[in-house]
Structure 1
Amino acid sequence: MNRFTLERLEDNLFRGQTEANGQRSIFGGLVAGQALLAASMTVSEDRPAHSLHAYFLRPGDIRVPVIYDVDRIRDGKSFTTRRVNAIQHGRPIFSLSASFQVEEEGGRHQNTMPDVPEPDSLESDESARMRVVEQIPEQFRGAFLRERPVEFRPVTPKDLFAPESREPLKRFWFRVSDRVTADRMTQRALLAYCSDFGFMGTAMQPHGMTFWQSDIQCASIDHAMWFYDDFQVDEWLLYDCQSPAAAGARGLTFGAIHRQDGTLVASVAQEGLMRLRPSAKPV
């Protein structure tokens, strides 16, 4: 995951490299993860990130690096706050606020992890994709077949070419494919990156929509995360995603990320655009 080695240009200015993803714009999770990492690089290591709130403002240009401008809003006794603008071509494409906290002991509780099959008993997403590659429209085939740095094992796989209405619930195991020897701040930045994969599709399920339909326009609008415990992104994590509502061509999804031992390590929330293009709207 060499995309998570940022170049420091100035005390509060960093540069991150983009990655080819088979699409015209940068994957939103990459910008979110790099922005959190940039913020973390201006904070003491004994204050891990505990939350982030962000907006996706413009599509990112895959051809050029991203500049991260960090604003050191506050350094308090227990909490530190940072604001980050991700910039390309002189304009912000993404805005993030993140909070960091000195570690403290306190009351603790969590929801129970769902009872699902272990990842080793499930088919990998890559294997499933290879079985249906000939059915992918040519304009999407490059993105569909690209090598992914994250491995997925869906608990309830679905047929991309015969979409059916399903309850707005999705569960899958995931992990970074390569061995990751990184500090805590990089682990949390990598989890922010991973958290954007497949998440928004949960809200599309009741409507029989998929990302591979040419008549659907999809984009992340905002993203929020809360971190509770440590983890390794190269070890299996369960993503439990549920969408409580969709309206106005937008879908809202909540997610819980658990370690394999059942410990809740993060919560996620995102609203995304799920728009039928004009030619696809009912007459």
Structure 2
Amino acid sequence: MATRDFRYEMAPESEVAIAVRLKPQYDEYFHQHPLNKAAQSTPGLGAIRLCDVEGGESFTDTDLFRYFYAPFDVRFQLVVELPSPPDVVVAYALNRSARLGEFSDRDVAVMNAMSGHLAMHHRLALDGERARLVDAEMDRHAWAVASVRSDGIVEASSSGVLTVGIRVPESLASIIGESDLASGEESRHELAIGTQRWQCIVHPVRLGPTVLLLRRQQDGDTDSVTLMEAGLTRRQAEVVIALARTGGSNNEIAHELGMSASTVKKHLEGIFRTLQVTSRAAAVLRLHELTASGSPPSPGGG
């Protein structure tokens, strides 16, 4: 709450484009939300409706309602807060139009009964988003991890760098074949996979599959051009690339790029609108999609 870093995921998908466009209004007026005020002042309220809290009846008079909820035709809301760190509010919200009417006491009871399951779901979703962010970053700038059986078949691979169940390209197979399994010592190599140059570290495992660390040698300038062709400014492209490289906070990105954290936040708002995403992880994944044409072909044909 202190950093005014608000994030949300929305269903149905058809509303995402509006959500991206209106996110600056959400960020600016979120402090007016009566359910948020109640959750912050009295922890442990469980599932609550606008009619349950002070200020709920006048919610339609706020700028938050006028500029964010009204365009979605949202009049009533039921929110259940989940366990979260200090100064962080994590919640699931159900929305209804004026035509559908207020949520019932039974709706409140159902959400309270589901709160434990929702907390677990949020944790899994958060872990999944972090994993996707890490995979996207590893596939672009850091090390992807793969394990290869003794017959050269890929057993597992992060970030989709190698195709599971298919034999590794000959350039990799020859490196693995030359590794000293008895010593267990790693070896470093540079090789070509398709049209791309890769760095490779081979970790022989005496009683298991060979572990490979792979890193594509990619040109950041090319990524910037690709992002600008997608509609970003040069500075916005730098912010996305820094986010993908570090996964850092606004302050960390600001320090790396020599700008203020508030400027990074403004750039991210513009990035979200242009790339049609609503989260940092989604922005990095979008970058990965835009630059995926430079990835090597599926390594099944050598």
TM-score category of the 2 structures, normalised to the smaller one: under 0.3
Q: Normalization by structure 2: what TM-score?
A: 0.23
The structure that is helix-richer by fraction is 2
The structure that is strand-richer by fraction is 1
Q: Normalization by structure 1: what TM-score?
A: 0.24
